[in-house]
C-alpha cells in the first residue's frame, strides 16, 4: 500500500472511530436542535394567536368605549387584564378607560393611570402615561405634582406638549413670566407633525401680554380713584 493510500485509509479509520465514539452526542444534538426549532415555531404561532385574541378583546372594549357604556367597558377591560395582563392592548384599554372616568371622577382616573405606571410599560408608553398623569394631576389641583411629573418626561417627542402644559399651570397660578418662557419653549420645540398647535400657542402668548397690561394698569387706576 502506497504511503498516500495508507494515509487516506488511516484518516477514514479515524473518522469512523470518531463517529462511533460521538454518535450519541450527534444524535442528541440534532434532536435537540430540531426540538428547539419546532419549539420556537410553536411559540411564535402561540404568540400570534395570543396577539390576535387580545386584539379581538380590545375591539370589544373599543365598542363599549365609543358608546360610553362604562359598565361594558369595565367588564371588557377586566377580561383583558385577566387574560392578557402584559399585552399592549391591555395598557391601551386602561388608558382609554381612564378617559371615561375623567368625566365623573378625575381622582379615580388618576389612580387608574398611576396603577398602570407601576407596571413599567415600554418607554413610549411610559412617556404617554406620564404626560396624561401630569395633566390629571393639574386638573385635580395638584400643580406641584404635575410639574414634577412633567420634569421626568425627557422624550423629545413630548418636549412641546410638556412645555405647553407647564405654561398652562404657571398661567393659571399667575406666574406670567414663567408661563411666557414655557410657551415660547413649546413653540421652539414644535416638530412638523405638531404645526397645528402653533396658532393656539401664539394665542396663549398674546393673552399673557394682555393679562400683564391689565395687571400693570390696576395700580394706576387705583391712584386715579384716590
Instruction: Provide the b/e sequence for 58-70 (b: ≥16 CB within 10 Å).
Output: bebbbebbeeeee
For residue 181, what pLDDT is reported? 95
For the entire predicted model, the pTM comes to 0.68
Query: Which fold, 54-142?
Result: 1.25.40
- Dig out the grid coordinates for 28 from the structure: 442528541
Location of C-alpha cell 430540531: 34
For residue 43, what pLDDT is reported? 45
Q: In the chain, which stretches have pLDDT less than 50?
A: 3-10, 15, 34, 38, 40, 42-43, 46, 220-221
DSSP string for 157-199:
GGHHHHHHHHHHHHHHTT-HHHHHHHHHHHHHT--GGGGGGHH
Q: Give domain limits for the chain.
A: 54-142, 155-212
Helix (H, G, I), strand (E, B) or coil at 3: helix
For residue 46, what pLDDT is reported? 47
* Cα(99)–Cα(94) distance, integer angstroms: 9
Quickly count: other Cβ atoms within 10 Å of residue 31's Cβ.
Answer: 10
For residue 74, what pLDDT is reported? 87
Amino acid at each position: 500500500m502506497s504511503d498516500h493510500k495508507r494515509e487516506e485509509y488511516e484518516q477514514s479509520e479515524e473518522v469512523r472511530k470518531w463517529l462511533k465514539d460521538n454518535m450519541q452526542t450527534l444524535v442528541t444534538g440534532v434532536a435537540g436542535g430540531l426540538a428547539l426549532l419546532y419549539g420556537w415555531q410553536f411559540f411564535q404561532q402561540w404568540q400570534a394567536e395570543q396577539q390576535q385574541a387580545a386584539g379581538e378583546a380590545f375591539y370589544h372594549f373599543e365598542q363599549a368605549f365609543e358608546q360610553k357604556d362604562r359598565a361594558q367597558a369595565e367588564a371588557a377591560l377586566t377580561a383583558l387584564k385577566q387574560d392578557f395582563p402584559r399585552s399592549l392592548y391591555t395598557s391601551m384599554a386602561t388608558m382609554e378607560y381612564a378617559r371615561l372616568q375623567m368625566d365623573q371622577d378625575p381622582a379615580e382616573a388618576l389612580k387608574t393611570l398611576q396603577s398602570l405606571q407601576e407596571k413599567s410599560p415600554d418607554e413610549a408608553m411610559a412617556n404617554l402615561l406620564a404626560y396624561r398623569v401630569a395633566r390629571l394631576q393639574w386638573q385635580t389641583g395638584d400643580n406641584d405634582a404635575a410639574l414634577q411629573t412633567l420634569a421626568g418626561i425627557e422624550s423629545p417627542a413630548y418636549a412641546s406638549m410638556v412645555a405647553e402644559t407647564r405654561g398652562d399651570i404657571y398661567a393659571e397660578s399667575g406666574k406670567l413670566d414663567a408661563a411666557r418662557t414655557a410657551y415660547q419653549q413649546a413653540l421652539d420645540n414644535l416638530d412638523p407633525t405638531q404645526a397645528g398647535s402653533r396658532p393656539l400657542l401664539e394665542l396663549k402668548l398674546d393673552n399673557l401680554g394682555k393679562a400683564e397690561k391689565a395687571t400693570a394698569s390696576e395700580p394706576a387706576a387705583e391712584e386715579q380713584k384716590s
